[in-house]
């Protein structure tokens, strides 16, 4: 999924996918390092998570984020 989203974000150009590691393109939200990387990435951000939907903050569901 990360590869597909990365290609969509770059209009199908695979150079970004080949040159930037997965953990920089779509860092994991549940780690402190991942959270910091995600905050530093330019918008629109790609963020990965393995958290169950019940553990996401309620504010997330009222935001404009696409899931």
Q: What is the pLDDT of residues 21-42, one digit of tens each?
A: 999 999 998 899 999 999 999 9
Where does the pLDDT of residue 57 fall: very low under 50, low under 70, confident under 90, or very high at 90 and above? confident
What pLDDT score was predicted for residue 5? 94
Catalytic sites, residue numbers:
50
- Whether 65 has a pLDDT exceeding 90, the answer reads no
Question: Does 64 have pLDDT greater than 90?
Answer: no
pLDDT digits (tens, 9 = 90+) for 42-53: 988 999 998 898
Give the integer Cα–Cα distance in Å for 1 and 49.
12
What's phi and psi for 62, nearest 5 deg? -95, 0
């Amino acid at each position: 999924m990360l590869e597909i989203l990365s290609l969509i974000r770059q209009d199908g150009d695979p150079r970004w996918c080949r040159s930037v590691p997965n953990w920089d393109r779509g860092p994991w939200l549940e780690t402190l390092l991942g959270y910091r990387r995600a905050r530093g990435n330019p918008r629109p951000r790609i963020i990965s998570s393995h958290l169950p939907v019940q553990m996401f903050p309620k504010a997330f569901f009222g935001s404009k984020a696409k899931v």
